[in-house]
Amino acid sequence: MLETSARLLRLLSLLQMRQEWTGPELANRLSITTRTVRRDIDKLRDLGYPVEANVGVGGGYRLGAGAEMPPLLLDDQEVLAVAVGLNTVAAGGIAGIQEASAGALTKLRQVMPSRLRHRLDALSVDSVPRDASWTTIPADRLTDIATTCHRHERLRFDYRKADGTESRRDIEPYRVVRNGSRWYLIGWDLAREDWRSFRIDRMEPKTPTGPRFSPRELPEGGAGAYLARSIGAVYRSATARVRVHAPLTDIAAMVSDDWATIESGNDSACELRVYSKSLTSIARWLRAFNADFDILEPAALRAECAALADEHDRLADRYRRSITHP
């Protein structure tokens, strides 16, 4: 009896793993015959689980939708994945959902075997506090926007840019994408006739939503790739070339492809192309090399370095030397 019950639980777990299984596949996974699979399927049905069967070539078994949710069977790694995910949400990011996430995590932890509770406790980490207004969005706003994407309904909203200017937007919403602690909406801007990305924390959706639309083909690589390109374009809006008087091996270890490329170098100096949102931020980054440098282009970067030299007397000589060399 115990062996049969364990096998039924294992069968139920397999049915929850993917949409459909053939009889031979289940028999192979459970090390039983296809006849025993059929008997076990009937036992699950007697217990109230809606297991559907498709006959013929390519047919198989699937767990149908029922009036009640069946027991959720997870292996050790899946339990930890769910727990860590809930812990991450509870730490912040979406306003109004932290309490629910913490409650779900508490319930999950109560039914965990001790070996998993110990592993979960070992994964506990602290988070750096952040300004909630900068990082969080209301849970209902995120849900409503995701719903309009799913229903293919046009969305109107007021949008506030980084400089504080506001505008009314009318778009075809397609995907919600998370990047770090921020959430974005990717959509087709009807007025600009092009794809755009919008930070959800800067949006104020209007109701009711607009009419349904026929989905367009997403940009190359999908919504996530489009957002990465959009954010990358913002952070590369300013470019400069500099010569840093330090060995190439030292500088190469400090340079990331996200914000600079090394064009040439040797044991005494190397030339870099640096990217950022502004020349001011590039000028500030140059301090990180802890070495003398020459500005090759643009000339406007020399003015930024001169301004920093006036602000920071300790670095004044280094910055002033940088603007005296062509």
DSSP string, 178-197: EETTEEEEEEEETTTTEEEE
Q: Where on the phi/psi map is residue 31: left (φ > 0), alpha (ψ -120 to 50), or beta?
A: left
From CA 31, how far away is CA 7, in angstroms rounded? Answer: 10
Query: Which residues lie across from 182 on neighbouring strands?
Result: 179
Which residues lie closer than 8 Å to 63 by C-beta, 6 or more apart? 12, 15, 16, 49, 50, 51, 52, 70
| Res 284: pLDDT | 85
From CA 200, how far away is CA 142, in angstroms rounded? Answer: 8
Identity of the residue numbered 187 = G
| Res 185: pLDDT | 94
Note the pTM of the prediction, 2 decimals.
Answer: 0.55
CA distances from 185 to 74, 193, 301 (A): 32, 16, 34
Residue range 22-35, pLDDT digits in tens: 989 999 999 999 89
From CA 265, how far away is CA 166, in angstroms rounded? Answer: 46
Query: Can you give the pLDDT of all 326 residues of the chain as single tens digits?
Result: 547 778 888 888 888 777 788 989 999 999 999 899 999 999 888 877 888 888 766 678 888 765 455 555 667 777 777 777 777 665 556 777 777 777 777 777 776 777 777 777 776 655 555 444 445 788 888 889 999 999 999 999 999 987 788 999 999 999 999 876 678 999 999 999 999 999 999 999 998 888 999 999 998 889 988 888 887 676 677 889 999 999 988 888 888 767 788 888 888 899 998 888 888 888 888 888 888 899 999 989 988 888 887 766 555 566 566 656 55
3-state secondary structure of 19: coil
Tell which residue, 262, 312, 263, 271, has the closest CA to residue 294. 271
| Res 133: pLDDT | 41
Q: Under a CB-based contact definition with an 8 Å cutoff, are residues 235 and 228 in contact?
A: no
| Res 314: pLDDT | 54
Please report which helix (H) or strand (E) contains residue 263, including its range.
strand 260-265
3-state secondary structure of 133: helix
From CA 67, how far away is CA 83, in angstroms rounded? Answer: 26
